Amino acid sequence: MSAKKQTTAQSKLIGEHPKSGLFFDWFECEDTPATANKKHRKLTNKGISSDTLVEHLSQWVIKHHATEARIARIERKKQILAKHGFAQYMEGKVPFPIKSATTQKGNLGEIILAEYLTETSGLEILVYKLRYNPNVEQSMKGDDLLLFEKQNIQNRVIMGEAKFRSTKNKKALDDIVQSLSNKNLPISLTFVSDRLEEMGDELLANEIDDLITNLHAQKTPVTYVGFYHSESSAYQTIEKHLNSNNKNLVIVSYGEDNPAKLIKSSFDKALKMVME
């Protein structure tokens, strides 16, 4: 009888890698040996087809940038303006960064991390922050990602930070580690609370307000997750240089050949889906 596989330090913090679905098909997962100062989950591409991947990612781009109501309004305008140059009229008004490659790279990293952690941890995104960006060509300030246990808000929070680099480097890793120091608490909770109140969920908004107090009183634990998206050898930078005294920090790395192409293709496809 084989010995039961031990739960890794990474899985204790963010959950097991999915055993089915897109992330199972997309990623080969390795939780590298953990130390007191290094918890690293290495993701590599199993060989999923580019078309399949872009199809999924483009749908996530739309989901994270626009409510169903906003997409419905665009569809209504499309019908009205179909004979009057819809694309020309709507240029710059759809909720996707259509010019800034830098913003696309940052946003897709946040989106991938959000969807991945939702699946592994069981926690939820209560507010899709990219939907509220007043300037789609620039990245939003505040926490990249916050996930909550909706049925028990005070139980646990995940705070995420995503970085993309075409060529791996230590500084990007250092920036993630600094941002996710255990001395840093989420700074976007008031934003989340305000959006929930606007959506009519005052009870949940009040829970978030109470959470702010509990976090400062260290009554609610925070799990910190950094996502490092770069070239195929990105994991080497994490393994060599990750050194954090935050015991609740996990760095998730994803390396692939030509990562910038995947990002551009995903946003191009999302824009095409909305505009055509």
DSSP string, 59-108: HHHHHHH--HHHHHHHHHHHHHSTTTTHHHHHTTTSSS-SS-HHHHHHHH
Does some domain include residue 67? Answer: no
- Please report whether residue 87 resides in a domain: no
pLDDT of the residue at 186: 96
**34-48, 71-85, 182-196 — which is least confidently predicted?**
71-85
Which structural domain, as residue segments, surrounds residue 17? 9-48+100-258
pTM for this prediction: 0.93
Residue 229: inside a domain, yes or no? yes
**Per the domain annotation, does 128 fall within a domain?**
yes
pLDDT at 4: 61
The pLDDT of residue 58 is above 80: yes
Identify whether 76 is part of a domain: no
70 in any annotated domain? no
pLDDT at 95 over 80: no
Which pLDDT does position 1 carry in this prediction?
Answer: 45
- Number of structural domains in the chain: 1
Tokens of 198: 């606007």
